[in-house]
Amino acid sequence: MKLVRYGQSGQEKPGLIDADGTLRDLSGQVADIAGDVLGDAGLEALRALDPADLPVVEGSPRLGACVGNVGKMLCIGLNYRDHAEETGLPIPDHPILFLKANSAIVGPDDDVILPRGSEKGDWEVELAAVIGKTAKYVTPEEALDHVAGYCVANDVSERGFQMDLSGQWTKGKSCDTFGPIGPWLVTRDEVPDPQDLDMSVDVNGKRMQTGNSATMIFTVAEIIAHLSELMTLHPGDVILTGTPPGVGMGMKPPVYLKDGDVMEIWIEGLGRQRQKVRADA
């Protein structure tokens, strides 16, 4: 299934995309696409519905973040071997973890706003895993059973805030609008191997990032298992699993986002995002 949230910001309704690509309304079935419906039982109940019986949503409404009421957004840094090599940083021994503020989360095609003082805005296509079942002390072999589904994420970054201001990476990762997720949540049964997904980023029509999740240092299953040793993962938590090479910071000379740029973010089978970049007034 492809589950979506549509409508004005803060007023999104739940929906699904049927086999013909038509948006169908789910608000008569569930209140939201959020943790309480992302478990196996909740997803099975949605699968049992006949999409033809659901109301068609007319027009082309805005798509919001594909998961509502996110508990926490956990991000893994330097998790692609070829990306670590382009940055000149050592291969980590354990997953590098940072948090992205939930207030950064926006829809897949919402504008990305560079905050005041931003001079080093950057893009990062990432495979995101959404937790569907509470995970604590799970093994890598069990981990993917705790995933509701996967979606596209853009881990937008402000490298100056991230690297030059004292403190943690979170400063450059949590600015408003720096966490687009969607367009839809694809349930795990439709993603047979999360370690074999092509992905890319185009900026102003020029290909910048190209990669495949096969080059992850730590697999999605290993990441979930590791995080579950540190904290309980709850339904609706979103985990960003790292980015392949081709970020602006890694280019020679570096290339950073500016007002008016357009980013297109794509992952095989999970859909495409498109964001216009705006400088905050």
Across the strands, what pairs with 3? 16, 185
Q: What is the pLDDT along the chain (281 residues), one digit of tens a residue?
A: 999 999 999 999 999 999 999 999 999 999 999 999 999 999 999 999 999 999 999 999 999 999 999 999 999 999 998 888 877 778 899 999 999 999 999 999 999 999 998 999 999 999 999 999 999 999 999 999 999 999 999 999 999 888 777 677 888 999 999 999 999 999 999 999 999 999 999 999 999 999 999 999 999 999 999 999 999 999 999 999 999 999 999 899 999 999 999 999 999 999 999 999 999 97
Do 216 and 81 share a structural domain?
Answer: yes
Do 80 and 39 share a structural domain?
Answer: no
C-beta separation of 222 from 89 below 8 A: no
146 lies in some domain:
yes
pLDDT at 7: 98
212 lies in some domain:
yes
CATH code at position 158: 3.90.850.10
Alpha carbons 234 and 80: distance in angstroms, whole number: 25
pLDDT at 257: 98
68 lies in some domain:
no
pLDDT at 85: 80
Do 257 and 133 share a structural domain?
Answer: yes
Q: Indicate the pTM of the whole model.
A: 0.96
Range of the domain at 15: 2-53
Asked, as a colleague might, if the bond just before 254 is cis with ω within 30 of 0, I would say no
Do 202 and 86 share a structural domain?
Answer: yes
Domain count within the chain: 2
43 lies in some domain:
yes
Tell me which residue has tokens 């357009």: 262
Do 104 and 192 share a structural domain?
Answer: yes
Do 200 and 88 share a structural domain?
Answer: yes
Taking CA atoms, 272 is separated from 98, 192, 200, 219, in Å, by 25, 19, 10, 22
pLDDT at 160: 84
Do 150 and 93 share a structural domain?
Answer: yes
C-beta separation of 75 from 99 below 8 A: yes
237 lies in some domain:
yes
Do 14 and 116 share a structural domain?
Answer: no
